[in-house]
Chain A
């Protein structure tokens, strides 16, 4: 059974810092990996989707990488802003979406 782990569980940084969120998974036979953002009391917003054949995806200040062989993905956020404060979840798809518990990010002005 696929297990998805996100580290750290919570992160607080000052505005402007670059930061990295980590996601690891136990079964490397995945179709894709997706990063989501969740604001308090809101639904999930898809940030980046990396197909199993890809190594990374970029959108604006976000960059997600995927290393299937080691079962790891990172979400890099450049020049963080207070508006980036949210919970970030990764989800892996190997015929069944499995979510990590999320990393709660706080960016302080």
Chain B
């Protein structure tokens, strides 16, 4: 298995632009998580899905952030419009049980 796949690995964009991050979970895993990691706040859970349904989005910082999971093999995290303070590493993780999690390599986002 290739593990959790995230794209792009690096994204540099200008303030105000729309950013879309993509994640392909491990096949057969029914839970998917989006995290953000910054030096100041560490690793924070943004949202998680179970069987493609958003269960808890209380960690999503603002309405500028949205996440979708149209099917079991794909999820997106979108930021529109992006701001410099959104610069961070965004991780996607999947789980077969909702508990033990397997992380992707992350997307490093820089908003200038």
Contact = CB atoms under 8 A, between A and B. Distances in A.
Is B a genuine binding partner of A? yes
B25 interface: no
Given A46-B100, A96-B56, A89 B43 contact: yes
A57 to B, nearest CB: 11
B101 A97 contact: yes
Query: For chain B, which range describes its interface: under 10, 10 to 19, 20 to 34, or 35 or more residues?
Result: 10 to 19
Given A99-B42, A99-B43, A102-B42, A43 B91 contact: yes
A101 interface: yes
A32 B99 CA distance: 8
A53 to B, nearest CB: 13
Contacts of B56: 96
Contacts of A45: 103
Contacts of A34: 100-101
Nearest to A42: B105
B104 A43 contact: yes
Interface in A59-106: 89, 91, 93, 96-102
B100 to A, nearest CB: 5
Contact of B103 (A44, A49, A101): A44
Interface in B31-68: 33, 42-45, 56
Contacts of B102: 46
Interface string B7-34: 0000000000000000000000000010
Contacts of A89: 43
A96 B55 CA distance: 11
14 contacts: A34-B101, A36-B103, A41-B108, A42-B105, A42-B106, A43-B4, A43-B105, A44-B43, A46-B102, A49-B100, A97-B33, A98-B45, A99-B42, A99-B44
Nearest 6 pairs of A and B residues by beta carbon = A44-B103, A99-B43, A43-B105, A43-B103, A49-B100, A101-B42
